[in-house]
Structure 1
């Protein structure tokens, strides 16, 4: 019987070097796919949406093009990331497009009112969170009943050998900094079963957790209050 590898937590914040490499990496294809999925799933009409742990803001800036009438917020724990997001916004949005609202804050304790958002997004953040139930409870607090949730993250493999194989298979040509960080992120990730237990404790069991490809999980659905 195979035993699941225990989670090896990594810091909630990236190092400066990791942030720089992350900001420079090309995630255009998956980010564009995620933005299009969000826009098509939620549909037309004015919405309030937040990306928790938005990093340099690429998903939101892509979503702005697809949902011009949405009010968009990007929250991140890193002032450096938000500065990069703000700079990128100036280059990518026209004067006629409504800017994204950038918010410095921890995703487990956001200075935002209750039941504000119609859409909650988070991409590649959950594995950094040491107290995931607090993260999910925050999503429940700031969203309306019926709000759409789109949370994507890595999922923990069964062994370090499998984690290394995932890296060799998917990012063989990335820098050693990126490969090393990706390895630690895989080991810090949660399993599908663990995320389902987190959602149950946070009273978000209406959300579905599914496996994607060889290394991801997706939490999606609507908030029920």
Structure 2
């Protein structure tokens, strides 16, 4: 792993996208990473189980909708953008059969969801952490709403070591998307956390038993089964 001092300082971006950014993000094609993310979680948990799963920062709901196409779990999608959840509801109508088990869509801050404590067997999130100026509040909410011994899978970008690498990753992964998406993606890379920073966040939040690992050229993920209380 590259030593911490070689990394760029974190440049925070706003927690909430503009309406223009939301519209472009909803139209962007993230089908390949989203499908891989869902398949990895289904494989880790097992299809035959009856579980409750919440996606924090679900955005337009693509990840949750992909789950519904594979499993009959109790699914929840949380986002603080009414516009994003409206797109998610439209997507559910268009993509799922009328007989599909309903998905619970909740308008709420991922750091203060109002959901019941120790309710969820699995708490997941994708590309949300880098938006948060106070990630500790997010991790404490993950700890609160998830069951002891439950499953956690949080995937996000990780901060690159240089501006040149940020430019390369942007061109490589979203170079065919709109200029708005490209600018937002680069900004997201520069606001992302390093793996060692996330390790410290988890320790402070009391989330134990989880692995923090770097994935591919731009992701990090927190994954595993939470340690049971002593």
Shorter-chain TM-score category? over 0.9
Is residue 3 of structure 1 aligned with residue 9 of structure 2?
no
CA contact (8 A) 1:196 1:205 kept: no
Q: Identify the match of residue 54 of structure 1 among 38, 54, 58.
A: 58
Is residue 140 of structure 1 aligned with residue 140 of structure 2?
no
Correspondence for 1:24 = 27
How many Å apart are 1:176 and its aligned residue?
Answer: 1.2
* TM, length-normalised to structure 2: 0.94
Task: State the SS of the aligned residue for 2:49.
Answer: coil
* TM, length-normalised to structure 1: 0.96
Correspondence for 1:189 = 192
Q: Identify the match of residue 223 of structure 1 among 216, 222, 226.
A: 226
Using the alignment, how far apart are the partners of 2:177 and 2:99 within structure 1?
Answer: 37
Which consecutive residues of structure 2, in runs of 5 or more, have no partner in the other structure? none
Is residue 171 of structure 1 aligned with residue 174 of structure 2?
yes
How many Å apart are 1:96 and its aligned residue?
Answer: 1.6
CA contact (8 A) 1:74 1:102 kept: yes
Using the alignment, how far apart are the partners of 2:98 and 2:179 within structure 1?
Answer: 39
Q: Identify the match of residue 152 of structure 1 among 131, 144, 155.
A: 155
Is residue 45 of structure 1 aligned with residue 55 of structure 2?
no
Cα RMSD, aligned residues only:
1.2
How many Å apart are 1:131 and its aligned residue?
Answer: 0.7
CA contact (8 A) 1:93 1:99 kept: no
Is residue 66 of structure 1 aligned with residue 70 of structure 2?
yes
How many Å apart are 1:171 and its aligned residue?
Answer: 2.4
Correspondence for 1:14 = 17
Task: State the SS of the aligned residue for 1:66.
Answer: coil
Of stretches 158-167 and 120-129 in structure 1, the one that deviates more from structure 2 is 158-167
Which consecutive residues of structure 1, in runs of 5 or more, have no partner in the other structure? none
Task: State the SS of the aligned residue for 2:69.
Answer: helix
Using the alignment, how far apart are the partners of 1:168 and 1:29 within structure 2?
Answer: 17
Using the alignment, how far apart are the partners of 1:106 and 1:15 within structure 2?
Answer: 16
